[in-house]
Amino acid sequence: MKRSSKIIALMDLFKTTCILTAATIIAFFFKNATGTYYNVSIIYVLAVVLISKNTTGYIWGIISSVAGVLGVNYYFTLPYFNFDFTKNGYPITFLGMLLISVITSTTTVHLKEHAIKADEREKRNRKLNEINNKLLSVNGLSSIVELALAYISDFARASSVFYPDSPQLADSGTYHCLSNTHVKLFKSSHEVFIAHWVFQNNTAAGVQTENPQNSSCTYLPLTSHDTIWGVIGIYNPEGNPLSEEALTALRLIISQAAIALERQHLSNNQQLIKLETEKEKMRANLLRAISHDLRTPLTGMIGISETLLKNMNKLPPEEQKRFLQYIYEDSNWLLHMVENLLTITRIKEGVSSVNKSLEILEEVITEAVRRLRKRYPKALIQVSIPEEIVMVPMDPTLIGQVIINLVENSIKYSGTKDPVRVIAELIEDTICIRVRDNGIGLLPSNLDSIFDGYSPSENKSSDTKKGFGIGLSICKTIILAHNGTIYAENNEGGGAVFIFTLPLERNKVE
């Protein structure tokens, strides 16, 4: 700083000397040309104005005023080349000139200062506008906080911290500090106590507020609609108090941040409510489907066993055996239903949270096929897996259940004894599994609603105990919980195909 002010001073000296000299020369020419010297003073006044405008501070203007007066007296008033202030009227002229020079120079200096201030103010307003816009458009609580803290630290050249809740209750502050010691300062028990106080009282505290409380930092609450969304703490390491303007700007940023936070909270709440309602809907659908699908086999079992009990003696052995066979089959069907339901309970609270582990895809498929064969020993199932060994993050029981449900569907409803094919393919970062049959296919109108748990009223009667019911809607729930997709299509060559995909978090294993 010192060096540049020396340079500035030298430049100003240079400018002053040049302009004064130029003025003198012009005045000489003028006097010789016109023979009068009235305008000499004016030329010097002009020189003074120019000097004040183009130099820093009052001093050069004043020096040139005095020099001007002296110059006019010395060079241009009788007796020439002599200082004489006593001639009639000259004192007033000279005083007048001095006054004009001083006023002019001070005015130009003021003007310059004003211009600089206005410029700064405009820059600050533009910055605030930019902050405003950014805060309004940013999404996510942490982004809003990060942005606000960055701007505040920038503006106030300070370290800052954001507490969403009182730091005495939880360690959840976000820090934006110039050094680690500042973080320690914020975390010190006294500062934490003050931050807590601000939460309780919804009033600013600390340096430069009405409640200094012996703090070295300033804490400002972010409020909107009478709710406190957080507290921002600011520590100014240089210790200079912030100017009134900086404080105003700070308060503006903070109120904007509060609004942005409130808006984000509201939007998050809305999302949660939407999820809850979806879950409730799903649960209601499920319960409805469950009660229908469980009652049917039970009705069969109760009826048949009652018949057997009452009519044992009257029934021939083959008949008895047949009834027992029905009971056996129905109970297995019931077991299958219960297993489906158990899988639902494995999906925890949120619709999108599932216990995933890295499983080898072909092992899961093998297990599913093994269970299917136990239940349907005569069914033909063909499987094709990718060449490479693929590990997929998934819950193996759930995905196994999906494969079982889909293949069973095809076995029962395709209306043909042709083999059901299970094809697993690795496509970039996704695993794609298709269950395809060669049967009657699906009604195009059913393609979307088929996963929603309603039995179709067309092909089979809706009272079929083996109705679509829960199976497919459970598949959808499971796949969605794995962040995958599931849909159904009709094959070009006839028959239906059910497709689901699972994202890989890693690619294949070498």
Interface residues toward another protein, by CB under 8 A? 335, 339, 342, 346, 358-360, 362-367, 369-370, 383, 385, 389, 391, 396-397, 400, 509
Q: Minimal distance in Å, beta carbon 230 to another protein?
A: 41
Q: Minimal distance in Å, beta carbon 286 to another protein?
A: 18
Q: Which is nearer to another protein, 400 or 467 (CB)?
A: 400
Q: Which is nearer to another protein, 204 or 424 (CB)?
A: 424
- The dihedrals phi and psi of 434, each to the nearest 5 degrees, come to -120, 135
Of the candidates 261, 239, 234, the one whose C-alpha atom is nearest the C-alpha of residue 249 is 234
Query: What is the secondary structure of 422-465 as a DSSP string?
Result: EEEEEETTEEEEEEE--SS---TTHHHHGGGT---SSSS-TT-T
Rounded Cα distance between 261 and 142, Å, is 9
Q: Which long-range contacts (CB under 8 A, 24 or more apart) does 32-36 make?
A: none
Q: Minimal distance in Å, beta carbon 373 to another protein?
A: 9
- The dihedrals phi and psi of 32, each to the nearest 5 degrees, come to -70, -35
Q: Which is nearer to another protein, 288 or 346 (CB)?
A: 346
| Widest pairwise Cα distance in the chain | 158
Residue ranges with strand state E in 105-196: 159-163, 174-176
**Angle, CA of 394, 397 and 403, to the nearest 5°:** 85
466 within 8 A of 426, measured Cβ to Cβ: no
Q: Minimal distance in Å, beta carbon 383 to another protein?
A: 4
Is the peptide bond prior to 79 cis by the omega test (within 30 degrees of 0)?
Answer: yes
Rounded Cα distance between 484 and 262, Å, is 33
Q: Minimal distance in Å, beta carbon 335 to another protein?
A: 6
DSSP class of residue 347 equals S
Q: Which is nearer to another protein, 128 or 381 (CB)?
A: 381
Q: Which is nearer to another protein, 278 or 363 (CB)?
A: 363
Residues 6 or more apart in contact with residue 334 via CB below 8 angstroms? 294, 297, 298, 301
Q: Which is nearer to another protein, 372 or 472 (CB)?
A: 372
Q: Minimal distance in Å, beta carbon 371 to another protein?
A: 10
Q: Minimal distance in Å, beta carbon 262 to another protein?
A: 44
DSSP class of residue 455 equals -
Q: Which is nearer to another protein, 12 or 359 (CB)?
A: 359
Q: Minimal distance in Å, beta carbon 500 to another protein?
A: 18
Rounded Cα distance between 18 and 24, Å, is 10
Q: Which is nearer to another protein, 110 or 321 (CB)?
A: 321
